[in-house]
Copies of this chain bind each other. A is one copy, B any other.
Amino acid sequence: MLGLKVNFKKIVGIIKIIRPSNVLISGLTISVAVLIFGGEGFDILRLALMAGIVGVLIDAGANVINDFFDVEIDRINKPHRPIPSGLVSKRFALFIYFVCTILGLLVASFLNKMAFMIVFFSSVAIFLYSYRLKRIPLVGNFTVAFITGLAFIFAGSIVGNFKDALFPFLFAFMINFGREIIKDIEDIEGDLKSGVRTFPIVRGVNWAVAVSVSVFLILIFATMIPYFVGIYNHLYFLIVSVVNVGLIFVIFSLIRDRSKRNLNRLSNILKFEMLVGLSAIYFGSL
């Protein structure tokens, strides 16, 4: 009706640019967080579903606007991505971004004011990140990690429970901040070619390793606190110790082997570590 020629190529392009598997994980994480933080309120399933949908839509929009602004760099580094490969036009990508974000905000507006404001703030941060912040060393890494952590504050705000959301927020923030720097070391070759100024490019790989190692060391100590203060139980300590052994492995491996292949492996381990850490918090608070 609107003269949209929806063909197979276009649908494949939309699916690829949205990165459905990442987006679904974000949505599920938020839904589960709402269920956990929310206790047994009668309305909790509906709220968890809505929060998950908001997470999916905002994250999908984030992936698209990121590709939109990265198109020149991706032409060199990732020519197979939907925009540089010609599967999706820049114009249509912007349309997908707009629709996802605006629908995400719309669904969020049916939650409470605080939850809506967090989604609104995240949308602004996501746009600014893709537009400019990602090109400022460390600030870009900080922003990604912060938005990832903020998903838990969002989940908490929906059920008015910020107390339980605080540690998941801090944990997700720190592990992602360290992980983002490792990904910057991994991408150093391509980024150098395309003139992107990341922290390892500006200050050198040794400095970048030092920062992410420091973050992980602080994280290891930080994970102990809620156990010794008595917030979480023995089960938490048991599972989080597994996470910490993993973090110690990552630290040593990072110092020894900075090959692209190893860095990619460490980045994937950290992704898994985050999930285990979050489950530690969950089982530890039962």
8 Å CB interface, A112-152 against B: 116-117, 120, 123-124, 127, 131-133, 135-136
Assess whether B124 is in contact with A102, with CB atoms less than 8 Å apart.
yes
A195 within 8 A of B: no
Residues of chain B within 8 A (CB-CB) of A132 are 2-4, 95
Question: Does A69 reach chain B (CB closer than 8 Å)?
Answer: yes
A95 nearest in chain B by CB position = B131
Interface status of A167 (Cβ within 8 A of chain B): no
The reply to whether B127 and A98 form a contact with Cβ atoms under 8 Å apart is yes
Q: Does A91 contact B (CB under 8 A)?
A: yes
Give Cα A98 to B117, complex, Å: 17
Chain A contributes a number of interface residues (CB within 8 A of B) equal to 23
Please, which residues of chain B bring their CB within 8 A of the CB of A192? none
A69 and chain B: residue at smallest CB distance: B91
* Chain B nearest Cβ from A227, distance in angstroms: 40
Task: Identify 6 new A-B residue pairs, CB closer than 8 A, beyond the known A69-B91, A98-B127.
Answer: A2-B132, A2-B133, A102-B120, A102-B124, A102-B127, A109-B116
* Interface majority SS (helix, strand, loop, mixed), chain A: helix
A106 within 8 A of B: yes
A113 nearest CB neighbor, chain B only: B109
- Chain B residues whose C-beta falls within 8 Å of the C-beta of A4 in the assembled complex: 132
From residue A53, how far is it (CB to closest CB) to chain B in Å? 17
Q: Shortest Cβ distance from A239 into chain B, in angstroms?
A: 40
Check A136 against B91 for contact (C-beta < 8 Å): no
Instruction: Point out the residues of chain B lying under 8 angstroms from A116, CB to CB.
Output: 109
Distance of A253 from chain B, by nearest CB (Å): 34
**CA gap between A136 and B4 in the complex, in Å:** 11
- Shortest CB-to-CB span from A118 to chain B, Å, is 13
Q: Which residues of B contact A127 (CB under 8 A)?
A: 98, 102
- Considering the complex, give the chain B residue whose CB is closest to the CB of A105: B120
Q: Which residues in B have their C-beta under 8 angstroms from that of A98? A: 127, 131
